[in-house]
A and B are shown apart, each in its own frame.
Chain A
Amino acid sequence: MPAPRCASCHKARAALRRPRSGQALCTTCFCASFEAEVLHTVVAGRLLPPGAVVAVGASGGKDSTVLAHVLRELAPRLGISLHLVAVDEGIGGYRDAALAAVRRQAARWELPLTVVAYAELFGGWTMDAVARSTAGSGRSRSCCTFCGVLRRRALEEGARRVGATHVVTGHNADDMAETVLMNFLRGDAGRLARGGGLGSPGEGGALPRCRPLQLASQKEVVLYAHFRRLDYFSEECVYAPEAFRGHARDLLKLLEAARPSAVLDLVHSAERLALAPAARPPPPGACSRCGALASRALCQACALLEGLNRGRPRLAIGKGRRGLDEEGSPREPQPSGPPTSEPIPGF
Chain B
Amino acid sequence: MCEVGEDYREPAPAGPPPPRPCREQKCVKCKEGLPVVVIRAGDAFCRDCFKVFYVHKFRAVLGKNRLVFPGEKVLLAWSGGPSSSSMLWQVLEGLSQDSAKRLRFVPGVVFADEGAACGQSPEDRAKTLAEAKLVLQTVGFPWHIVALEEVFSLPPSVLRCSAREPVGTEGAYKAAVDSFLQQHHVLGEEKQSRPCPQHPQGRAGPPTAGQTEALSRLFNSVKTLTAKEELLQTLRTHLILHVARTHGYSKVMTGDSCTRLAVKLMTSLALGRGAFLAWDTGFSDERHGDVVVVRPMREHTLKEVAFYNRLFAVPSVFTPAVDTKAPEKASIHRLMEAFILRLQAQFPSTVSTVYRTSEKLVKAPRDGCAAGTPGPRCLLCMCVLDVDTADSATAFGAQTSSQLPQTQPPVAEAEAPTVSCCHSGMGRAQHCCRMEADPRACDPRACVTAQLCYGCRVNMKDLVSGGPSPAREQAGAGLGLRLRSPGTSGSSLLQPSLDPLPPYILAEAQLRSQRAEAEQEIQERLLEAEDGARPGATSAEQAHEDGARPGATSAEQEGADGL
**Which residues of A line the B interface, CB within 8 A?**
4-5, 7-10, 14, 17-24, 29, 32-33, 36-37, 40-41, 44-45, 136-140, 142, 145, 173, 180-181, 184-190, 192, 196, 198, 215, 244, 247, 251, 254-255, 257-262, 264-276, 278-279, 312, 314-315, 317-319, 335
Contacts and interface: CB of A to CB of B under 8 A. Distances in A.
Interface string B337-350: 00100010000001
A281 to B, nearest CB: 12
B479 A265 contact: no
Interface string B401-438: 10111101001000000000000000000000000000
Contacts, number: 231
A312 B366 contact: no
Contacts of A261: 272, 399, 458, 476, 478
Given A37-B403, A44-B392, A187-B357, A269 B475 contact: no
Nearest to A312: B10
B507 interface: no
B361 A254 contact: no
Given A269-B268, A272-B274, 9 more contacts: A20-B476, A21-B399, A21-B479, A215-B394, A260-B475, A262-B270, A265-B270, A266-B272, A268-B454
Contact of A36 (B335, B393, B403, B478): B403
Contact of A138 (B1, B6, B12): B12
Contacts of A19: 475-476
B186 interface: no
B365 interface: yes
28 contacts: A22-B479, A37-B403, A138-B13, A181-B266, A181-B270, A185-B343, A185-B350, A187-B354, A251-B339, A258-B224, A259-B224, A259-B477, A261-B476, A262-B270, A265-B458, A266-B270, A268-B454, A269-B270, A269-B273, A270-B274, A271-B395, A272-B274, A272-B275, A272-B365, A274-B361, A315-B10, A318-B8, A319-B6
Nearest to B339: A251
B339 A244 contact: no
Given A8-B406, A264-B398, A44 B224 contact: no
Nearest to A212: B393
Given A32-B405, A255-B335, A257-B329, A189 B399 contact: no
B492 interface: no
A247 B476 contact: no
Contacts of B366: 196, 271-274
Contact of B362 (A7, A247, A275): A275
Contact of B357 (A192, A196, A274): A192
Contacts of A276: 360-362
Contact of B476 (A4, A44, A260, A319): A260
Contact of A7 (B12, B331, B489): B489
Contact of A266 (B269, B365, B408, B475): B269
B7 A318 contact: yes
A184 B362 contact: no
Interface in B259-291: 265-266, 268-275, 277-278
B17 to A, nearest CB: 11
B329 A258 contact: yes
- Report which residue of A5, A138, A192, A259 has the largest number of chain B beta carbons within 10 angstroms of its beta carbon: A259
Contacts of B489: 4-5, 7, 14, 24
A186 B357 CA distance: 9
Contacts of A20: 398-399, 476
Contacts of A273: 274-275, 277, 361, 366
B476 A41 contact: no
Contacts of B363: 274
B487 A268 contact: no
Which has the most chain B C-beta neighbours within 10 Å: A44, A180, A181, A278? A44
A119 to B, nearest CB: 26
Contacts of B10: 137, 312, 314-315
Contacts of B477: 22, 259-260
Nearest to A16: B475
A279 to B, nearest CB: 4
A329 B350 CA distance: 32
A36 B547 contact: no
A231 B556 CA distance: 46
Scoring A29, A198, A266, A270 by chain B CB atoms within 10 A of each residue's CB, the highest score goes to A266
A187 B356 contact: yes
Interface residues of B, number: 78
Interface of B: 1-8, 10-13, 224, 226, 265-266, 268-275, 277-278, 329-332, 335-336, 339, 343, 350, 353-354, 356-357, 360-366, 386, 391-399, 401, 403-406, 408, 411, 454-455, 458, 474-480, 487-490, 547
B405 A29 contact: yes
A40 B391 contact: yes
Contacts of A262: 270, 332
5 closest pairs, A vs B, by CB?
A269-B274, A265-B272, A272-B275, A45-B393, A22-B474
A267 B393 CA distance: 12
Given A269-B274, A273-B274, A258 B360 contact: no
Contacts of B2: 140, 142, 145, 186, 244
A198 B393 CA distance: 8
A40 B403 contact: yes
Contact of A265 (B266, B353, B454, B488): B454
Contacts of A10: 487
A44 B274 contact: no
A301 B216 CA distance: 59
Contacts of B272: 261, 264-266, 268-269
Nearest to A188: B4
A259 B224 CA distance: 9
Contact of A215 (B269, B331, B364, B395): B395
Contacts of A335: 4
B534 to A, nearest CB: 23
A319 B224 CA distance: 43
Nearest to A323: B10
B393 A215 contact: yes
Contacts of A275: 360-362
A261 B271 CA distance: 9
A270 B277 CA distance: 11
B476 A17 contact: yes
Contact of B386 (A14, A258, A272): A272
Question: Which one of B12, B265, B361 has the highest number of Cβ atoms from chain A below 10 Å of its Cβ?
Answer: B361
A151 to B, nearest CB: 17
B363 to A, nearest CB: 7
A160 B470 CA distance: 57
A292 B63 CA distance: 47
Contacts of A274: 275, 278, 361-366
Given A5-B489, A17-B475, A184-B357, A265 B271 contact: yes
Nearest to A3: B489
B277 A21 contact: no
A56 B198 CA distance: 73
B269 A244 contact: no
B388 to A, nearest CB: 9
Contacts of A215: 393-395, 397-398
